[in-house]
C-alpha cells in the first residue's frame, strides 16, 4: 500500500446527524484518516481527520483499492468539495454504495 491511510487511537461507532437529511458516518475507532484530493493514495493529503471524527458522504466513486478495518474496497467517499476518504475506514454499515455515485 505504500502510504499509510491511518494512525492508531480511539473513537466511537454511533452514527450522528446534523439534521434529518445529513447523516454523519463514524471513522473506524482507533484511526486518524487521511483526507485526499482524489480517490487514491497518489492524490495529495488535504487534511487528517481526528480520532472520533464523523463525516457526511456526499457521493462515492471507485478509485484505488484499499484495505482497512471495514474490509477491502475501491470505493472512496466524497466528504466535501475536493476531499475523499477510503470507504474501508468509514462505518457505513454496507459493503456497497450508500450515496450517489460522484459525477
Rounded to whole angstroms, the Cα distance separating 63 from 84 reads 10
**Predicted TM-score of the model (pTM):** 0.81
| Gap between the Cα atoms of 72 and 9, Å rounded | 21
User: Which grid coordinates belong to 78?
Assistant: 466524497
Structure confidence at residue 15 (pLDDT): 53
pLDDT at 9 over 90: no
Q: For 28-56, write each residue's pLDDT tens digit.
A: 999 999 999 999 999 999 999 999 999 99
Q: Where are the beta strands (DSSP E) in the chain?
A: 6-8, 16-19, 22-26, 31-36, 45-48, 54-55, 59-68, 71-80, 83-86
Amino acid at each position: 500500500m505504500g502510504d499509510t491511510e491511518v494512525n492508531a487511537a480511539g473513537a466511537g461507532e454511533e452514527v450522528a446527524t446534523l439534521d434529518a437529511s445529513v447523516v454523519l458516518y463514524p471513522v473506524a475507532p482507533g484511526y486518524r484518516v487521511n483526507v485526499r484530493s482524489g480517490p487514491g493514495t497518489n492524490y495529495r493529503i488535504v487534511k487528517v481527520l481526528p480520532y472520533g471524527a464523523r463525516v457526511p458522504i456526499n457521493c462515492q466513486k471507485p478509485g484505488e483499492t484499499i484495505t482497512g478495518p471495514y474490509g477491502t474496497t475501491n470505493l472512496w467517499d466524497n466528504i466535501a468539495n475536493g476531499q475523499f476518504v477510503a470507504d474501508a475506514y468509514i462505518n457505513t454499515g454496507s459493503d456497497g454504495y450508500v450515496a450517489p455515485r460522484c459525477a
